[in-house]
Structure 1
Amino acid sequence: MEHLVEHMRAARHSAHEPRCDICHKHCRSFEALRDHLGVGGSTLPKAAGCANAFAARGCTICLSVLRTAAERPRHLASCKLDRIRTPPGPPISRMAGMSLNHQPQAQGGGRALALGCKMVGAGSDGSLDVVARVCVVDEQENVLLNIYVKPLMPVTHYRYETTGIRPEHLRDGAMGLMTVKNAQQRVQELLLCGEQPWKVRTSRARARLLVGHGLDHDLKALGMDYPDYLKRDTATYPPLMKTSKLSNSLRFLTHTYLGYDIQTGHQDPFEDCVASMRLYRRMKKQEHHPNGGDADEPAASAEQAFPAWRQRELERMTPEELLRLSTPDYRCWCLDD
């Protein structure tokens, strides 16, 4: 019975998952939907009727199908976003001069903040990642924090070709330079927004959502921890992942779902933050079909659904009760509103 419930959870679809607007086929990810519609030179078998209709009046960015072909040019012009320019001047902290004990409750707009970090190499071969730049932006793409961070270990590879970081940027007295501990405290102050850290574990209250790409890697480099239910990671969000359940790069996601290119030269964490935030906002504003699933119900974890002592209780349940128990373990970002 435990295996049956787990199988049904994996087999059932959520109404919030990507869905073909023509034949209403459910897909586990947008990449699977693109293959179904024949977008991007897919070589997988596809529905000819859906592919032909999509080629005539579909949007290759949001994968929606318009009512008429005449609407397509105007929709594509509005759906495709422009690359944002990096703020001029050296990285600075918008919170410069602020006490570390001050709680910036009014800093930034919106309920989410995007975090981006750039790493340099440490260790004998330069393969160990240590954080050297940190950027935080709000939902309106305003910079709240943009600083260099002094690594705790000697840097053996600055990775200048991609990071643009030079030795003088990380020397004592350099403009916009912080210690890792101070950078960690600044990021926590922005995220917690005056809330006590221990309260965030059980209740969101004033704490903000954290958006990014590969958040666990960035948080580990900063020596931070943040509750999983407050993370919005574009690298692990199921609709944005590959059909093989592997993560796509932020560069690929930005080109495919926003319509512009990033990381073409020196990679600025500000640009990565903006791209992650735009992906989050685009996923959050999706329109879903009103029927065909029950993902609005809270998904139960495996331990909550069938602990070992409930085996006999599961065996006495009817098929309808087991089906209700197997709610898909998936939560759409549109529910953040």
Structure 2
Amino acid sequence: MDNRNESSENLRNKCAACFRQFNKMEHLVEHMRISYHSVHEPICGICKKHCRSFESLREHLIGPLPKQECKNIFSIRGCKFCLAILNSPDARRSHQERCQFLSINSGILARLANLGIRDNLGTIDNGGSARRAQVVALACKMVGGGSDGSLDLCGRVCLIDESENIIFHTYVKPTLPVTNYRYETTGIRPEYLRDAMPLKQVQRKIQDFLCNGEPMWKIRPKGGKARILVGHGLDHDLDSLQIEYPAIMIRDTAKYPPLMKTSKLSNSLKYLTQAYLGYEIQTGIQEAYEDCVATMKLYNRMRSQVHKIEDYPLASDPQNRNNFASWRQSELERMSPEQMLEISRSDYYCWCLDSRDY
């Protein structure tokens, strides 16, 4: 009888999301206060375990110490790109063919290598949408400045729309002397920058396009005209362009928790593209357009996830009680693990919310 009671108590003290076991209920409560488990976390399609990132989920399924039952099923019915579990091996093969993207045509990249200015910023519909903001992706390629060539200066910039069409593409003339063109990776030669568009002009064009007629202080994530900006390491790119843009409108694949390492460090765009899209980028001379396309595909993959709709999905929403602050400890300890999970909310903005109206 004592063993049965102890087993029942252990189940009561087991997290309903990540399955961690605690000796006391108060320890489970403390875990739930700081874990921010939610429906927006990557979840194993077999055992339903919540993981903090897709890398954690990948380790759970195929890592060096996976859960054996999940590994066995995943090896037969799992997609190695989006980590979904399909109904049969045949369904898996069909799904994985669609899930894997083809590499960007090398002929397109070859033509881009000597492409000068392409400026369609003024031809894009500036009306915006009250239901869903327009999305664009940006990438830069850096040349070197300073005495040792280690100072990053923007030498090339590309901006694309959701359909991967080039909106803006130009070489950029830095405000400081270039001491290393980094040709092996950038493909940029001195003559390309000699008469290139000045940095200040590039900055003004891109900033005006992103804000789309809205003052910076007035930009809001829903119902406005400003555009959502997608990229990888956008802090660095925007800094090199001397552009300021509100964080609420930025979707950075280098800082998005589900796409980060288990250690909470950033993955490279090269790795993310290979692991989650199934093709290689940044081999030899690197194109800003290629990086734009990869980040847009990653964004769309994350945005297209289907999660349970909640009235207030973020821990920061004042209307919900995610931080448990308004609950007494005794009330929380009387809850089941499932009830605590039900009131828990995410501490990051899931990109699936960009597809919804609030």
Pairwise TM-score range, normalised by the shorter structure: 0.7 to 0.9
In the TM superposition, residue 91 of structure 1 has moved relative to its aligned partner by: 2.9
Which of 35, 51, 64 is equivalent to 1:27? 51
Q: Does 1:270 align with 2:286?
A: no
Structure 1 distance, partners of 2:30, 2:234, is 28
Deviations 1:174-201 (A, max 9, x none): xxx2111111111112211222233116
Deviations 1:33-53, CA, capped at 9 Å, x for gaps? 111111xxx32x211111000
Give the equivalent residue in structure 1 for 2:157: 134
Deviation at residue 170 of structure 1 after TM alignment: 0.6
Which residue is 2:60 aligned to?
Answer: 36
Shift of 1:325: 8.3
SS in 1 for 2:119: coil
Q: Measure, in 1, the Cα distance between the counterparts of 2:285 and 2:178.
A: 18
2:37 to 10, 13, 21: 13
TM-score (norm 2): 0.79
Larger radius of gyration: 2
Change (3 A) 1:145 1:58: same
What SS does the aligned partner of 1:139 have? Answer: coil
Q: Give the root-mean-square deviation of aligned CA atoms.
A: 3.2
Percentage of matched positions with identical amino acids: 50
Match of 1:54 among 63, 74, 85: 74
Matching residue of 1:171: 194
Give the TM-score normalised by the residue count of structure 1: 0.83
Q: What residue is the counterpart of 2:126 in the other structure?
A: 105
> Does the CA-based 8 Å contact 1:137-1:144 persist in structure 2?
yes
SS at match of 2:139: strand
Deviation at 1:95, TM superposition (A): 3.7
Mark the CA change 1:46 to 1:203 in structure 2 (over 3 Å): closer, same or farther. closer
In structure 2, what is the Cα distance between the partners aligned to 1:53 and 1:7? 30
1:298 counterpart letter in structure 2:
L
Does structure 1 retain, via aligned residues, the 8 Å contact 2:86–2:92? Answer: yes
Change (3 A) 1:285 1:32: same
Aligned residue number for residue 345 of structure 2: 327
Deviation string for 1:50-87 (max 9, x for gaps)? 10000011110110111011112211111110112336
Deviation per CA, 1:284-310: give whole Å up to 9, x if none.
Answer: 11133x49xx695332189x999xxxx
SS of alignment partner, residue 292 of structure 2: helix
Give SS of 2:160's match: strand
What amino acid maps onto 1:105 in structure 2?
N
Gaps of 5+ in 1: none
Q: Which residue of 1 is the match for residue 19 of structure 2? A: none
1:297 to 294, 313, 322: 313
How far does residue 315 in structure 1 lie from its aligned partner after superposition?
7.1
Pairs within 5 Å for 1:93-242: 93-95=118-120, 105=126, 111-172=134-195, 177-200=196-219, 205-242=224-261
SS of 1:135's partner is strand
Amino acid in structure 2 at the alignment position of 1:112: V
- Kindly indicate whether residue 79 of structure 2 is the aligned counterpart of residue 79 of structure 1: no
**Count of residue pairs the alignment pairs up:** 314
